[in-house]
């Protein structure tokens, strides 16, 4: 029996392992005939859903089980199904911080489509964890509220941005959170207030919460501002000029080093790695902290390029870069990972 790993909404903060993907193996599930299983009004697809279609990197083979959930009760049912049949599972949103293996994933991938939005009062929004974070950022600024200007450039979900405490340009998700609804691995729903949680640079209490199954919804409280929309437009213009927005990437791959006064992108650039490629994976010529899929990258190409970048930066500057993205090993052995 495979161990049940902790689950993630979209983005995660575990370090990349030094790992060699098993290249001599065949995909986890290779039947040409799609199989489905129905359970409590949920449709589980067996072995045909390609993870490359769920990842902004466009990399990944089939998962053994796949199910979409559109309501918190669906999510709870999916988790109970996996627990009842001892199936490892992960919960994802837009897959913008995920590297799946070409062999796939021998477990269940639960696609979070809980994308409702409620306006509780002026400036207070309660959003489903599957709601697009960039859409919430644009919408709130258009309605005259500040705090999520940066979100328009984040291609993830509300749940993922909260889990990872996404941020840019001096703003962070945690700064405007009021409360968060979660479901635990035991199947209980809980509401946590902001004051009860700890957030840091690309980190949150959820990353160490052993009984977290998934974030269900997040309530944001924003302040009125007449200049929010203009500032957001300026940030988006800068993003389009400085990031490879038209290429397949996972956003920033590495965290910025703490207390060094230099970004990961600057270190990678100064190490002469812009344009460096392995197979179909390449360090972007536009932004060095973006590793892009040129169209035919494999998971091993990306793993090797990440390892090369870390090695070169460490050799030249003595700095150990830490990844923002999460690699899903096909036969998830959680013991191989280190926080």
Q: What is the arithmetic mean of pLDDT over 331-337?
A: 47
**CA distances to 40, 49, 111, 140 from 33, in Å:** 23, 12, 22, 45
Q: Determine how β-strand 63-69 pairs with β-strand 42-46.
A: antiparallel
Q: Is the pLDDT of residue 183 over 70?
A: yes
Q: Could you tell me if 201 and 155 lie in one domain?
A: yes
> What is the CATH classification number for the domain harbouring 206?
3.30.465.10
Does the structure show a pLDDT above 70 at 323? yes
Mean of all residue pLDDT scores within the chain: 88
- Nearest Cα neighbor of 107 from 86, 84, 87, 91 is 87
Task: Give the pLDDT confidence score for residue 233 in this predicted structure.
Answer: 96
Residue 299 within a domain:
yes
Are 282 and 203 within one domain? Answer: no
**Do residues 224 and 122 both lie within one domain?**
yes
Query: Is there a domain that residue 246 lies in?
Result: no
Would residue 338 count as lying in a domain? no
Q: Are residues 204 and 273 in the same domain?
A: no
Looking at 80, 96, 114, the residue that finishes a domain is 114
CA distance 211 to 283: 36
Does some domain include residue 18? no
Please tell me the pTM assigned to this model. 0.86
Q: pLDDT-based confidence at 331, cuts 50/70/90? A: confident
CATH number at residue 274: 3.90.78.10
Q: Do 109 and 125 fall within a single domain?
A: no
Give the pLDDT score at 229.
95
In a domain, 174, yes or no: yes
Of 114, 144, 160, the position where a domain reaches its end is 114
CB atoms within 10 A of CB 309: 25
More confident residue, 280 or 260: 280
- pLDDT higher than 90, residue 41: no
Q: Indicate if 177 and 207 belong to the same structural domain.
A: yes
Quote the longest CA-to-CA distance of the chain: 58
Total structural domains in the chain? Answer: 3
Taking residues 162-179, what's their average pLDDT? 94
| Pair 213, 127 in one domain | yes
Domain boundary among 60, 82, 114: 114
- Residue 27 has a pLDDT of 62
Q: Are residues 78 and 125 in the same domain?
A: no
pLDDT at 196 over 60: yes
Query: Are 138 and 163 in the same domain?
Result: yes
pLDDT value at 4 more than 70:
no
Residue with the bigger pLDDT between 2 and 257: it is 257
Shared-domain flag, residues 282 and 295: yes
Taking alpha carbons only, the member of 187, 156, 213 closest to residue 7 is 213
Q: pLDDT class for 36, splitting at 50, 70, 90?
A: confident
Q: Is residue 216 part of a domain?
A: yes
Question: Which tens digits make up the pLDDT trace of 43-95?
Answer: 999 988 999 999 999 999 999 999 999 999 999 999 999 999 999 999 999 99
CATH of the domain at 68: 3.30.43.10
Q: What confidence category does residue 259 fall into, taking pLDDT thresholds of 50, 70 and 90?
A: confident
Residue 114 near residue 94 (C-beta atoms within 8 A): no
**Residue 35: per-residue pLDDT:** 79
Please report whether residue 240 resides in a domain. Answer: no
Question: Does one domain contain both 72 and 165?
Answer: no
Higher pLDDT, 7 or 97: 97
Question: Are 127 and 217 within one domain?
Answer: yes
For 268, the domain range is 254-323
Decide if 167 is inside a domain.
yes
């Amino acid at each position: 029996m495979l161990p049940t790993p902790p689950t993630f909404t979209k983005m995660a903060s575990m370090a990349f392992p030094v790992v060699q993907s098993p290249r001599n193996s065949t995909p986890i599930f290779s039947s040409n005939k799609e199989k489905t299983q129905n359970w409590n009004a949920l449709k589980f697809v067996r072995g045909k859903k390609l993870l490359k279609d769920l990842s902004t990197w466009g990399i990944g083979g089939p998962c053994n089980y796949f199910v979409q959930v559109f309501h918190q009760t669906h999510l709870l049912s999916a988790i109970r199904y996996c627990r009842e049949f001892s199936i490892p599972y992960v919960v994802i949103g837009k897959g913008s911080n995920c590297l799946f293996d070409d062999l796939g994933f021998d477990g269940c991938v639960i696609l979070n489509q809980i994308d409702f939005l409620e306006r509780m009062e002026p400036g207070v929004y309660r959003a489903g964890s599957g709601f697009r974070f960039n859409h919430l950022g644009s919408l709130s600024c258009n309605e005259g509220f500040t705090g999520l200007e940066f979100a328009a450039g984040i291609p993830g979900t509300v749940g993922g941005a909260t889990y990872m405490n996404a941020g840019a340009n001096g703003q962070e998700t945690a700064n405007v959170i009021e409360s968060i609804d979660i479901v635990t691995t035991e199947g209980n729903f809980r509401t946590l207030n902001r004051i009860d949680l700890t957030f840091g640079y690309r980190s949150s209490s959820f990353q160490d919460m052993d009984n977290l199954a998934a974030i269900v919804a997040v309530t944001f409280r924003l302040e009125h501002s007449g200049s929010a929309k203009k500032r957001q437009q300026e940030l988006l213009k800068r993003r389009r000029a400085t990031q490879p927005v038209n290429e397949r990437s996972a956003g920033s791959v590495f965290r910025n080093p703490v207390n060094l006064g230099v970004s990961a992108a600057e270190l990678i650039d100064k190490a002469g790695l812009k344009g460096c490629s392995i197979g179909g994976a390449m360090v972007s010529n536009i932004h060095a902290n973006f590793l892009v899929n040129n169209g035919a990258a494999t998971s091993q190409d990306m793993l090797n390029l990440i390892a090369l970048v870390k090695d070169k930066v460490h050799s030249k500057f003595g700095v150990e870069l830490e990844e923002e993205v999460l690699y899903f090993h096909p036969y998830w052995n959680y013991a191989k990972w280190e926080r």
